[in-house]
Amino acid sequence: MKNALFAAGAGSLGAYRQCSWECLGTGQFMPNESANPYIGRTGVIERVSEWRVEMLVPDSTVDAVKEALYLAHPYEEPAFDLFVVEEPSPRS
């Protein structure tokens, strides 16, 4: 999945490419009757190990990166957040 996001324009910082921050955690969810879950069963709470991955995404590639996420991620409803990060001032 990371490679799909990198290819769509995520993960660049100055002269560096394919940058990300990751941590392992536990996700919890319960699919309802209209869900088609990749993992789990309708009406049953599931707890699974999941990776949280953070990357910088330029404004110009946000739509392409979101599309790549939906296409590459196996979950029916992948969760993601978008935050505006102000560009730091150049080092003196």
* Dihedral over Cα of 30, 33, 36, 39: its sign: positive
User: What per-residue confidence (pLDDT) applies to 92?
Assistant: 55
Question: Which domains does the chain carry?
Answer: 2-72 (3.30.70.120)
pLDDT one digit per residue (tens) for the chain, 92 residues: 999 999 999 999 999 999 999 999 999 999 999 999 999 999 999 999 999 999 999 999 999 999 999 999 999 999 999 998 887 767 65
Predicted local distance difference test score (pLDDT) of residue 36: 92
Size of the chain in residues: 92
What pLDDT is recorded for position 54?
Answer: 97
Per-residue pLDDT, 90: 74
| pLDDT of res. 2 | 97
Question: In angstroms, how far is CA 8 from the centroid of its own chain?
Answer: 12
- What span, in angstroms and rounded, lies between the C-alpha atoms of 38 and 91? 46
DSSP code, position 48 = E
